[in-house]
A and B are shown apart, each in its own frame.
Chain A
Amino acid sequence: AQSVTQLGSHVSVSEGALVLLRCNYSSSVPPYLFWYVQYPNQGLQLLLKYTSAATLVKGINGFEAEFKKSETSFHLTKPSAHMSDAAEYFCAVSDSGAGSYQLTFGKGTKLSVIP
């Protein structure tokens, strides 16, 4: 079965500093990978996705992620944090073993941005 591990349930960065949110996955087949962002009391919004094309994926709001097969990782980065980036971030992997097109989500990382 597929699984996703997000290292660090809480990450704090200073405004203007590098954001790095870690995601490792396990999958028996080439995966599709996603990052979602959730602001308080809102639904999840798709940030970016990897679908076996370019390994470096650019998303919205200046975020990007790099697929590294050898490390089974899909870490999310942003060069300079902004106050508006404070939110919870979820990594997800395609669950090819399921009966339909399901995703397995990580437990989330809450990002705080310190002014």
Chain B
Amino acid sequence: SQTIHQWPATLVQPVGSPLSLECTVEGTSNPNLYWYRQAAGRGLQLLFYSVGIGQISSEVPQNLSASRPQDRQFILSSKKLLLSDSGFYLCAWSGRDSYEQYFGPGTRLTVT
């Protein structure tokens, strides 16, 4: 069966520090991968999606970036965090030709 992992689970970082969040999927190949941010009371905001290694599409211009160095690995990064980057970050995957998305457990990021 397929599983999706995210780490770390929680993170507290000062403003201006770098960020790296990792997401890995097991039990499937060639998945579509997604990064979402969930801020309090604002629903889910799609940040990035990827249909293959090295292929990243950005939905929202910001100081975040994403990379997909391996088929089942998706990384969310920032060089300098802002207070507004605080939130709950969710990674998700779907099959190659499927809308059905499966979510990881999330990372709670607090920027202080």
**Which A positions have Cβ atoms within 8 angstroms of B?**
9, 32, 34, 36, 41-46, 49, 90, 94, 99-103, 105-108
Contacts and interface: CB of A to CB of B under 8 A. Distances in A.
Interface of B: 6, 32, 34, 41-44, 46, 49, 51, 57, 88, 90, 92, 94, 97-106, 108
B103 A41 contact: no
Residue among A32, A43, A90, A102 with the highest chain B CB neighbour number at 10 A: A43
Contacts, number: 53
B88 to A, nearest CB: 8
Contacts of B102: 46
Contact of B103 (A45, A94, A108): A45
Contact of A101 (B6, B44, B98): B98
Contacts of A36: 103
A102 B43 contact: no
Nearest to B55: A100
B108 A34 contact: no
Closest 8 CB pairs of A and B: A43-B103, A107-B43, A44-B103, A94-B99, A105-B44, A32-B99, A43-B105, A101-B99
A44 B32 contact: no
